[in-house]
Amino acid sequence: MAKLGAHSVLRVAAYRIGLKTGLHPVQRLKARPIDGKFFAPAANSQAGATGEAARSLHYFGWREVPVTGQAPDWFANPFTGATAQPAMRPWWTIPDFAEATGDIKILWEPSRFQWCLDLALAARTDGDAAETLERWLQDWHAKNPAYQGPNWKCGQEASLRVMHLAMATLLISGGTEPSPALRASLFNHLQRIAPTMGYAVGQDNNHGTSEAAALFIGGSWLAQAGVAEANRWQRMGRRWLENRVSRLIAPDGSFSQYSLNYHRMVLDTLCMVEIWRGRLGLPEFSAAYLARARAATRWLREMIDPASGDGPNVGANDGAHIFDIGRTPYRDFRPTVQTAAILFENARAYPGDGAWNRRAEALRLALPDTVLAPAASAQFDDGGFSVVRSGAAMAMLRYPRFRYRPSQCDALHVDLWLGGDNLLGDAGTYSYNSGEEWLAYFGGTASHNTIQFDGRDQMPRIGRFLLGEWLKSDDVAFDPDGAQAGYTDGQGASHKRSIALHADRLVVTDTISGFAGSAVLRWRLRKGEWRSDGPHGVTDGAHRLTVAADAAAGPLALGAGWRSLLYLNKEETPVVSCELTGPAVITTIYSWA
């Protein structure tokens, strides 16, 4: 509780007590009626111009669901084939995790309005797209009356709708004047977000940044239309954005959630805020805010592979992919990096033409002449990440620097990449609501390229999103060719790891002691036909991994595990392990030439 922080704990407690007692102001809101059209047709839009408007929903970057009727079924679960009961009752009476509903994120995904962006872009010239956009928006609001049902349960979900509506407005015409229907919808959304801002802030994660961004964007939007409450919402949003960016993004760019995908989400949020601020000619944010935005941009740029746009599947990954224009691949992070570099560094991260330019081109952002230097070795000590590069190879060492709550037992995990190919990778997340077994598996020590002591996790799980006995690093060192770090856990087991990256191999040295029975070293390999190559090695014919120890160690065991690169999607992957029964120094060599 002390590590979570008194202010955070009190904010969350006050929110929950308020809802339980019925005294929270969010329970007394009165919605404005929605009447009329949301968007006027674009000047160049022609009815039935192409008939190629998007008519499908995308879930978590991999599941495409055609829309066969006039509008989507907002409560359908394409993963089970069932349709959830709309549960049109006050949102605070609906449980977070209910067996009948399943993973509520499935219901939330199409209601984030991500589809607005592609339809709005097409609506510039395609009257069919404009009609589809209008029909879907009208249907959503009719089927999801304000403050009723699961799609009003989370302030962040309401916030994403506000941000996507704002970007859709810019995509259609470049103007910012909201129609009466849009004004009413925005008002209802901001009314929902503002009273629970304290709860969002108390979580110290992307809920606070998303909801502050929506208040700023929506508030400034409605202020132009003369809505009385709008200036207060705009000021609240700006104040909390400044606060959240200063607190949750460290000076080196690390974000509080220690996750590649959540890092993308917060950076996309800041990009939408900056685009909107610039379009309305509003005052700039502080120099400190902009410095953290630039640092966050660099963090993501240094972490990903420039050829594929992919990067380590580190930290929690809930399938979020906001601000996507053109349906770029879920695991391509370059569009976010490019947009952020343009906005916060007045430079391009990547030269030439490619999908990474779609957002800028669609929103008519100028592409600067300056191109940033290629990604290089870097340490992000505030968050506990060392990135080492050698030619086309990149290795990342993850070590514990927990100012905020960790979500996975991934201390001293190593990711290895070669030209966009993930040679040694993280298992991922899979789902937040698929049972204790999968939650424990994907978040546990055994799903990472590290060492597990005595069959237990590095930190005990005490809640769905909370671990105890947070680890602390020692012996941290870094140079462009290698890195090291260590820790001692709550039961006295000690692990120190160093990595050295060469043009043709990665060398990992582990020193372990202090455990009671056994230690298991695991390496999660790329997919392929791996086979034994002697008692201490495995190979797939092109790559080879060997393990040597100075003390008693069992032979390498080649088996199978699971990995999840996309939310609610998992596949088998080869895993090699080695068991040790006493203190040891272990050397692992992964070679590819």
Express each pLDDT in 94-124 by its tens digit: 887 665 556 889 999 999 999 999 999 999 9
20-34, 47-61, 196-210, 504-518: the lowest-pLDDT one:
47-61
pLDDT at 284 over 90: yes
User: Is there a contact between 385 and 296 (Cβ–Cβ < 8 Å)?
Assistant: no
pLDDT, residue 474, reads 96
Write down the mean pLDDT value for the chain: 94
User: Is there a contact between 341 and 347 (Cβ–Cβ < 8 Å)?
Assistant: yes
Q: How far apart are CA 502 and CA 506, in angstroms?
A: 6
pLDDT at 448 over 60: yes
Residue 547, phi then psi, degrees to nearest 5: -130, 130
Q: How far apart are CA 585 and CA 68, in angstroms?
A: 60
172-181, 287-296, 320-329: the lowest-pLDDT one:
172-181
Within 8 A by CB and 6+ apart from 32, the residues are 146, 184, 187, 188
Within 8 A by CB and 6+ apart from 12, the residues are 199, 202, 203
The whole-number average pLDDT for the span 137-161 is 96
Exposed/middle/buried for 403, CB within 10 Å: 0-12, 13-18, 19+?
A: middle
pLDDT at 201 over 60: yes
Q: Is 281 left (phi over 0), alpha (psi -120 to 50) or beta?
A: left
The whole-number average pLDDT for the span 127-154 is 95
Q: At what angle do helices 287-303 and 260-280 cross, to 10 degrees?
A: 140
Within 8 A by CB and 6+ apart from 144, the residues are 74, 111, 151, 152
67 three-state secondary structure: coil
pLDDT, residue 68, reads 83
pLDDT, residue 134, reads 96
Which residue in 147, 143, 255 sits closest to 210, CA to CA?
A: 255
Q: How far apart are CA 563 and CA 449, in angstroms?
A: 12
Q: How many CB atoms lie within 10 A of CB 63?
A: 17
pLDDT at 69 over 90: no
pLDDT, residue 87, reads 64
Express each pLDDT in 380-430 by its tens digit: 999 999 999 999 999 999 999 999 999 999 999 999 999 999 999 999 999
73-87, 155-169, 176-190: the lowest-pLDDT one:
73-87
pLDDT, residue 593, reads 81
Express each pLDDT in 237-269 by its tens digit: 999 999 999 999 999 999 999 999 999 999 999
Q: Tell me the helix, strand and coil percentages in the chain, rounded to 5.
A: 35, 25, 40
pLDDT at 45 over 70: no
Q: How far apart, in Å, are the Cα atoms of 488 and each of 258, 401, 553?
A: 20, 13, 21
User: Is there a contact between 389 and 478 (Cβ–Cβ < 8 Å)?
Assistant: no
pLDDT at 587 over 80: yes
pLDDT at 92 over 70: yes
Q: How far apart are CA 429 and CA 154, in angstroms?
A: 21
User: Is there a contact between 261 and 310 (Cβ–Cβ < 8 Å)?
Assistant: no
Q: How far apart, in Å, are the Cα atoms of 78 and each of 85, 99, 144?
A: 14, 16, 19
Q: If residue 389 lies in a helix (H) or strand (E), which one and from where to where?
A: strand 385-390
Express each pLDDT in 204-229 by its tens digit: 999 999 999 999 999 999 999 999 99
The whole-number average pLDDT for the span 298-324 is 96
pLDDT at 551 over 90: no
Residue 135, phi then psi, degrees to nearest 5: -65, -45
Two structure tokens written together for 58: 């995308």
- Better-predicted residue by pLDDT, 77 or 299: 299
pLDDT, residue 101, reads 59
Two structure tokens written together for 461: 């799980």
DSSP 438-486: HHHHHHSGGGSSSEEETTS-SS-EEETTEESS--BEEEEEEETTEEEEE
pLDDT, residue 290, reads 98
Q: How far apart are CA 21 and CA 449, in angstroms?
A: 46
Integer-rounded Cα radius of gyration of the chain: 25
The whole-number average pLDDT for the span 284-305 is 98
* Residue 105 identity (one-letter amino acid): K
Express each pLDDT in 49-61 by its tens digit: 554 555 899 999 9
Q: How many CB atoms lie within 10 A of CB 77?
A: 16
Q: How far apart are CA 402 and CA 575, in angstroms?
A: 28
Residue 376 pLDDT grade (very low, low, confident, very high; cuts 50, 70, 90): very high
pLDDT at 588 over 60: yes
Residue 470, phi then psi, degrees to nearest 5: -55, 135
Cα four-point dihedral sign 313, 319, 322, 328: positive
pLDDT at 334 over 90: yes
Exposed/middle/buried for 512, CB within 10 Å: 0-12, 13-18, 19+?
A: buried
Residue 498 pLDDT grade (very low, low, confident, very high; cuts 50, 70, 90): very high
The whole-number average pLDDT for the span 558-573 is 97
pLDDT, residue 533, reads 93
The whole-number average pLDDT for the span 147-174 is 95
User: Is there a contact between 549 and 585 (Cβ–Cβ < 8 Å)?
Assistant: yes
